[in-house]
Structure formats: structure tokens, C-alpha cells
């Protein structure tokens, strides 16, 4: 069984969309999405520098566009399950047919703008902690006033809070944590700092008509599978200010009997976690169109 997954913010790098736009029809498709949401995705995906694509309002629609585009390049396929990390959940909702591509891009554009506005209120950020025991790490973060915003499994937790709190974390790491790595994001996502964005996203969601998932949809709120489009949309709204439990998603992948995992562009982060947490599961990250042939072979081997 194959699971198709989509990465979250921080996976973007300058120029990562360039080669994908050379595929037949890709440039026209991205141009249409750009017109629909009022953002030049091709420019940001090919020419903009790291600071420009770090902007939450830019990074989020850019990642969803790249994920949808790279998945489409695989051709017709029916994964056994789909999931996404943070904003990647909107990409996964498109994979599952809950939202059409334009609706997904419209929603993520509003999400990015709302979260950027919320992030501007206070200087905040996120840092990944490598190693350590969650039972030790989480209380330590809470002592510093930080939130364990992403519990990713495979020995990785992402802390979020003010820049002062993150600086204190760098000086006072939890026992067992090898390294604290600042992430390329512009705010403390999935924390109370994002509460103002929830209301705006809820208003945007009311304008959409979701369909029920055509394939198994795994939510990163709690790792549970979600059967209705209405609940998927509800979770996408609430997720903005609540922690991501990717560790629980991977536990669900095990329970579902997943044998292979493909991470769409810009892949790498989730396959890295899967290699450590899901031994025996074949993984592949779509970094460029050069990976498509190998990905298609994996699809053929692991889908009915």
C-alpha cells in the first residue's frame, strides 16, 4: 500500500519549481493558478530569493502548488492513503478530491495571508530539536514558555514561541537533545500566536463546498482517518493554532499496512522521518522531474 504525503513550510528553496515548469502544460497550469489567487507563483518558484519565499503568504501557496503539480506529473494513480504536514494538509485535501486545485490554492492563499498577519503581531519563530525523549523535552519547553508545535516522531520535536524564548532554548537545551536548528519560517505556527488567523480561515472555509475524500485521508491533528469533506475542512481551520502530530500519522500508516511512501515536491523532510520511524517502508522524495520514473515504478509496485 502506498501513501502520498506533502511537506510543510520550511521545505522550500530558491528556484525549486524551475524544472517542474518545463514539463508539458505545467507553466500554463501554474499561470492559471497565479491569476486565480493574485500571486505570481512562477516568479517565486524560479527567481525569488530565500528571504522572499520565507514570507508565509508566499511560501504556503507555493508549496501547495508544487505538491499538486508534482503529483499530477506521476500520472493517474490511486494511493492507499494521503496526508500532509501542516500546510501540506491542504495539498493532501486536493490529492483526496476534497478540494479541487483552484479551491485548494484559494484557501491556502487566504491561510498564508492570515497567518502572516498574525505572525506580525509578535516576533516569533520555530526551532527543531533533534534527539531527546519527548517525556523530558515537552515539560522543558513548557517551562521556557514554548509550545511543542510539531511532534514529528523519529526523535524530532519542533518548538515554537517568541524569539527570546527560542534564544533561551538554544542556551538551555533539554537533556538528550543533540541540536537545536532554527527553521525557515516566519512565525510560531500551530500555537496560540496563530489564534487570530483561525477566525479568518473559518470565514474562507465557509465559501467552499468540500467533497468527501476519495482515498483514506489521515489528519495530522491526531493521526486519525477522516471520512467526510466537512470534517477535513473543519480540521484544516483548527489546525492553524494546534500542534501537528506527524508521529501519530506515521503510527496510522503502520496500522494501515503502508509499504511505500512518496513525498511530493519539495520532498525530503517527511521521507527522512519515515526512514527512521517506518523501517521496511520504501520511501521516495520528489525533488525534481528526474525522480518521476523511479516514483512511477514505486507506484506500480505498491498500488492495486
CATH 3.30.70.250 in the chain: give the residue spans.
124-182
The per-residue pLDDT for 304 is 67
Quote the Cα angle for 108-110-114, to 5°: 115
Measure the CA dihedral 233/234/235/236, to 10°.
50
Residue entry with cell 497550469: 29
pLDDT over 90 at 303, yes or no = no
pLDDT digits (tens, 9 = 90+) for 241-277: 999 999 999 999 999 999 999 999 999 999 999 999 9
The per-residue pLDDT for 283 is 98
Q: Is domain 124-182 annotated with CATH 2.60.40.10? A: no
Q: What is the C-alpha separation between 304 and 302, in angstroms, rounded?
A: 7
Instruction: Look over the chain and give the mean of its residue pLDDT values, rounded to a whole number.
Output: 95
- Residue range 86-103: mean pLDDT, rounded: 97
Residue 268, φ and ψ in degrees, nearest 5: 145, -45
What's the 3-state SS for the chain?
A: CEEEEECCCCCCCCCCCCCHHHCCCHHHHHHHHHHHHCCCHHHHHHCCCHHHHHCHHHHHHHHHHHHHHHHHCCCCCCCCEEEECCCHHHHHHHHCCCCCHHHHHHHHHHHHHHHHHHHCCCCEEEEEEEECCHHHHHHHHHHCCCEEEEEEECCEEEEEEEHHHHHHHHHCCCCCEEEEEECCCCCCCCCHHHHHHHHHHHHHHCCCCCCCCCCEEECCCCCCEECCHHHHHHHHHHHHHCCECHHHHHHHHHHHCCCEEEECCCCCHHHHHHHHHCCCCEEEECCCHHHHHHHHHHHHHHCC
pLDDT digits (tens, 9 = 90+) for 11-66: 999 999 999 999 999 999 999 999 999 999 999 999 999 999 999 999 999 999 99
* Inter-residue contact 267 to 292 (CB < 8 Å): no
* Inter-residue contact 3 to 258 (CB < 8 Å): yes
Residues 6 or more apart whose Cβ sits within 8 Å of residue 244 = 8, 85, 86, 149, 150, 151, 152, 158, 190, 220
- Residue range 82-91: mean pLDDT, rounded: 98
CATH 3.40.366.10 in the chain: give the residue spans.
2-118+191-302
C-alpha cell recorded at residue 251? 503510527
Would you tell me which CATH number, out of the four given (3.40.366.10, 3.40.50.720, 3.40.50.10800, 3.40.50.880), belongs to the domain 2-118+191-302? Answer: 3.40.366.10
- Residue range 153-166: mean pLDDT, rounded: 92
pLDDT over 80 at 177, yes or no = yes
- Return the axis-axis angle of helices 26-37 and 101-119, rounded to nearest 10°: 50
Task: List C-alpha distances in Å: 3 to 88, 219, 260.
Answer: 14, 13, 6
Which residues are marked as active site? 86, 190
Query: Max alpha carbon distance in the chain (Å)?
Result: 53
Give residue 154's pLDDT band: very low, low, confident or very high (50, 70, 90). confident
pLDDT over 80 at 80, yes or no = yes
> Percentage of the chain surpassing pLDDT 90?
94
Amino acid at each position: 500500500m502506498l501513501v502520498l504525503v506533502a511537506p510543510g513550510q520550511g521545505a522550500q528553496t530558491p528556484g525549486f519549481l524551475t524544472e517542474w515548469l518545463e514539463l508539458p502544460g505545467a507553466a500554463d497550469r501554474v499561470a492559471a493558478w497565479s491569476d486565480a489567487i493574485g500571486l505570481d507563483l512562477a516568479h517565486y518558484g524560479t527567481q525569488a530569493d530565500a528571504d522572499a519565499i520565507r514570507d508565509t503568504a508566499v511560501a504556503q501557496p507555493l508549496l501547495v502548488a508544487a505538491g499538486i503539480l508534482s503529483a499530477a506529473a506521476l500520472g493517474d494513480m490511486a494511493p492507499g492513503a494521503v496526508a500532509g504536514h501542516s500546510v501540506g494538509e491542504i495539498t493532501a485535501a486536493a490529492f483526496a478530491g476534497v478540494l479541487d486545485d483552484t479551491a485548494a490554492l484559494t484557501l491556502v492563499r487566504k491561510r498564508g495571508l492570515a497567518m502572516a498577519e498574525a505572525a506580525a503581531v509578535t516576533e516569533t519563530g520555530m526551532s527543531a530539536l533533534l534527539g531527546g525523549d519527548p517525556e523530558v523535552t515537552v515539560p522543558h519547553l513548557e517551562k521556557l514558555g514554548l509550545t511543542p508545535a510539531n511532534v514529528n516522531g523519529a526523535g524530532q520535536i519542533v518548538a515554537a514561541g517568541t524569539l527570546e524564548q527560542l534564544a533561551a532554548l538554544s542556551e538551555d537545551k533539554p537533556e538528550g537533545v543533540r541540536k537545536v536548528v532554527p527553521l525557515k519560517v516566519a512565525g510560531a505556527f500551530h500555537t496560540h500566536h496563530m489564534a487570530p488567523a483561525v477566525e479568518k480561515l473559518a470565514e474562507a472555509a465557509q465559501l467552499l463546498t468540500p467533497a468527501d475524500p476519495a482515498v483514506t485521508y489521515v489528519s495530522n491533528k491526531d493521526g486519525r482517518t477522516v471520512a467526510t469533506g466537512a470534517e477535513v475542512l473543519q480540521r484544516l481551520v483548527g489546525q492553524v493554532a494546534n500542534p501537528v502530530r506527524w508521529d501519530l500519522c506515521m503510527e496510522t500508516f503502520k496500522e494501515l499496512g503502508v509499504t511505500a511512501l512518496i513525498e511530493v515536491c519539495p520532498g525530503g523532510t517527511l521521507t527522512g522521518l519515515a526512514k527512521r520511524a517506518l523501517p521496511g517502508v520504501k520511501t521516495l522524495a520528489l525533488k525534481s522531474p528526474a525522480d518521476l520514473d523511479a516514483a512511477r515504478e514505486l507506484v506500480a509496485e505498491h498500488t492495486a
